[in-house]
Amino acid sequence: MGGMHTAGDLVLRMQLAKGMKIDEAKKYVADKLGITVEELCDPIVMSEIREELGLGLQLPKSKDAIAMEAKINIAKVLGIKINSVEVFKSRANL
Amino acid sequence: MKKYFTRMGDGSAVYMTEEEIRKDIEAGIANAVRGAKVDPLTDDEIEHLYNIITAPDSVVSVENHRRVVQTSDSSSNKLGRHSGIAIDQPTQTVIYERCLGCDSMDMGLNDYNFKAVKSCAENEAVIVKNALTYSAMPLLYGGMPNLGFYTKPDGPVDNWAELLPAGKLDEARAAQEEAVEYAVHDMVFVADTMYKVGVDGINLDTCGASGDADWLAALKACEIIRNKYPDMGVEMGMAGEFVLGMHGKLEYDGVRLAGLYPHQQVKLAEKAGATIFGAVVNTNSNMSFAWNLARTCTFIKACMEVAEIPVHVNVGMGVGAIPMSEYMPADVVSRTDKALIEICNIDGL
């Protein structure tokens, strides 16, 4: 679906964590982002949203969230627990 | 008479007439129907399949809103291991994320089986932890149950592949049952280790490669892992469209495992708690792409009709109508993806 180029990584997260079928996972992510299912695959729309919400970008600038920073934001936006975020917080005593 | 460029199951080019392609589509469907006792494709679906196979474009695609997500097996090391590039796994993972647009990545030891990982799980976990720190996409840790690795002389159990030809059926069954317990222990041990560094999911890959006992081990491990870590996903990918009855009497939740097809396999994966099911249909390299794709779509359509969890159809070398070749022709790969999405309504690849 394009991963971070679009919203593929976010949709995959909902399948893997919650066992959502593709249409349900896409709708869940689209609703959380306030866009249409069609726009999930639009790299122009998604790059703007990912930049604004700090969800990680394929071409990050110095101000943009990447890696663990982005995952912390993804967990908040999607309303899910991400295991590596929880481990990171725990090990860093955050 | 016009001939269309297409391929055989080994990837070699072949030119076929409309009549020949339609005949192979019908034969592929009939083969799946006969084996799995599932419904054939409808006339409309057959027509759509024919149009996909004979489309003049080199690469075909789907409407934007029908794009699906992707998981993989052992892909985080394919730039290094397959392409021979001197590069570590965490760096490869970030390349897949930020350069290649992958939806997820699956890490694993080169040997890609849980028995081999067990002895170096801590070392593997540090590599996984680094990759998790550098990346934002979901990361799974994968391997195969690979029950054969538990047989002597490499493992502790008598080799059922030697016992069976000797007529020692009871001994062969007992050996497989013993190996199941070893394999379950190893898969759960590795999952424990990877969970503690934050992995998003466990990929139990090529389940059933050694037959019904191999798959039973994966089902049992999946059940334990999901009960221990309800927030961590488990993908369960199969080895083939048909579970070989190397044991023959093994059951999971009252269902005999030997002889099950994808539409039956997925129901047991669901019962074990898997969050993604990787359906497999083996490619016959002696048959045409049309035959293989029609057969694949027939199995997978039946699987999708009953699946309640997402199904990612395996479309790597030698499975899902993809030719048995390391060098993938984009023409047949894109046609396979399009057919599976538009005819079978799959959830991922």
What is the per-residue pLDDT across B180-204, written as a single tens digit (0 to 9) for each?
A: 999 999 999 999 999 999 999 999 9
Asked if B310 lies within 8 A of A20 by C-beta distance, the reply is yes
Q: Rounded to an integer, what distance in angstroms lies between the CA atom of residue B131 and that of residue B125?
A: 10
ipTM, two decimals, is: 0.97
Give the chain A residue nearest B232 (alpha carbons).
A17
What is the per-residue pLDDT across B27-68, written as a single tens digit (0 to 9) for each?
A: 999 999 999 999 999 999 999 999 999 999 999 999 999 999
Q: For the residues B330-341, what does the mean pLDDT come to? A: 98
Looking at 3.20.20, 1.25.10, 3.40.50, 1.25.40, the CATH number of the domain B3-344 comes to 3.20.20
- Structure pTM? 0.97
Is residue B74 over pLDDT 80? no
Question: What's the pLDDT at B111?
Answer: 87
| Residues 176-235, chain B, touching A (beta carbon < 8 A) | 195-201, 231-233, 235
Token pair recorded at residue B299:
């199995």
Question: What's the pLDDT at B76?
Answer: 75
Select from A1, A15, A23, A74 the residue whose CB has the most chain B CBs within 10 Å, as the one to mutate to test that interface. A15
Measured in angstroms, the CA of A49 and the nearest CA of chain B are apart by 15
Measured in angstroms, the CA of A1 and the nearest CA of chain B are apart by 5
What is the per-residue pLDDT across B219-260, written as a single tens digit (0 to 9) for each?
A: 999 999 999 999 999 999 999 999 999 999 999 999 999 999
Interface size, chain A vs chain B, as Cβ–Cβ contacts under 8 Å: 142
Where are the domains positioned within chain B? 3-344
Q: Give the nearest partner residue to B136 out of A1, A9, A37, using CB atoms.
A: A9
Chain A residues whose C-beta sits inside 8 Å of any chain B C-beta: 1-6, 8-9, 11-13, 15-22, 25, 37-38, 41-42, 55-56, 58-60, 66-68, 70-71, 74, 81-88
Is residue B75 over pLDDT 80? no
